Amino acid sequence: MRVTLFDYGAGNLHSLAKALATVEGAEVRIQEDPVGALDTDVLVLPGVGAFGASAARLEPGRKAMREALEQGLSCLGICLGMQLLFDSSEEGVGEGLGYFSGKVTRLASRRVPEIGWNTVEGDTTLKGAKLDTVYYAHSYVCRATDASVVTGWTTHEEDRFPAAVRRGKVVGVQFHPEKSSLAGVRFVQAFLQEVAP
């Protein structure tokens, strides 16, 4: 199974690649070209960086990537990667993939960013790994237009927002599984096992 991390200048690729490589048969590679990243079985959009700069790196392949997702390409979007699956963000200019309908807005909380462990409410994202307590590091959150795609919720202070979304073989998570200890690794493994070709 070919797993491709699309590198849009985000950090934290090493620990994420390591978590992905724990699945038997997974060949993990990093690709900077958005169109080249589509020659894969599973696309991963990593989670550290700014929306505007990342959207600009994505732009040359945005239409092709959106079409590939609509045609069934498996994808895991993490934190910023999840936000790029939505239409747009208050954080910066540029368009996201628009695979999920909605906008990314700043956390409506006194303490921003949210950094640390928090729970996931009512998680139904994957059969093989139920989410409970995971690690967050973010200032912006996705506001899904269609609540039916939300498969887990989180609350930071009084702001309740999607912890996870799913449509078909495309999953987005606001938290960082690669920083969420064994539970996060199990989540990544369960995702790859569930969507494996």
Report how far apart, in Å, the C-alpha atoms of 19 and of each of 15, 110, 174, 184 are: 6, 33, 17, 9
Alpha carbon of residue 62 to chain centroid: 16
Please tell me the distance from the alpha carbon of residue 150 to that of residue 140, in angstroms, as a whole number: 16
Q: Which two tokens stand for residue 35?
A: 């169109």
Give catalytic status of residue 79 as yes or no. Answer: yes
Question: Which tens digits make up the pLDDT trace of 160-182?
Answer: 999 999 999 999 999 999 999 99
Question: Which is catalytic among the residues 14, 59, 176, 194?
Answer: 176
Question: Which tens digits make up the pLDDT trace of 61-89?
Answer: 999 999 999 999 999 999 999 999 999 99
Question: Which is catalytic among the residues 75, 79, 91, 156?
Answer: 79
Give catalytic status of residue 176 as yes or no. Answer: yes
Please tell me the distance from the alpha carbon of residue 69 to that of residue 85, in angstroms, as a whole number: 10
> Is the pLDDT confidence value at 11 over 70?
no
